[in-house]
Structure 1
């Protein structure tokens, strides 16, 4: 009696083959979030800051306060009243005393409104105030 042993064919699974679909999905998610996400802070108003006389680039860290041409105020894209501005800035400065405040005002806006906002920020304890302007052409 002849014994016949049949070998079962084992498929060799390469370790890279099982992780490749996962890598593809992660890569596609990365691309999606890069395209869908916004890296800039939201703009509450359409603001055209005045043109700067210097060539220096503005830093983008800190709390951004925006003043529209009609006098409306926003902090990091969220509209806020002048009365609440000082309290909101004080809370942010208590959390981070070295926080820089960036003021972006419309060039056609009222200068007295800008001065009132600057005074509210100073009263809140803000000592690092940067005025955002457009780079010269």
Structure 2
């Protein structure tokens, strides 16, 4: 039983580390550049990689997903905010992309001091049951 718990905790830590990566130096759709560094997304088919990028003007949410080149793929990314602890998360910005194979989506810029989280849902566009959702840690 303990071995199962340890294995589950290790898997959860790996998923958390892969989805809560720091902001990076990637040019956003708006043409601005965020903090220096690089995002290292693990290539797992139909598993979204999600992160945020910040600069003095706000944040954007970014998500990408890899898939078979012949697969119609969807990726939806949302920046959600929470005004007060325990209040509901509200979507402040979102973007959705459909593409054959690899897909990437970038939200419009959000300026807020509220608690934020970035979530992405991605996978085969023609099979809703196989879509996967992942989120960053609140920041």
Rg larger for: 1
- Whichever structure has more helix as a proportion of its residues is 1
- Whichever structure has more strand as a proportion of its residues is 2
- TM-score with structure 2 setting the length: 0.28
Higher RCO (CA-CA < 8 Å; seq separation 6+): 1
- TM-score with structure 1 setting the length: 0.28
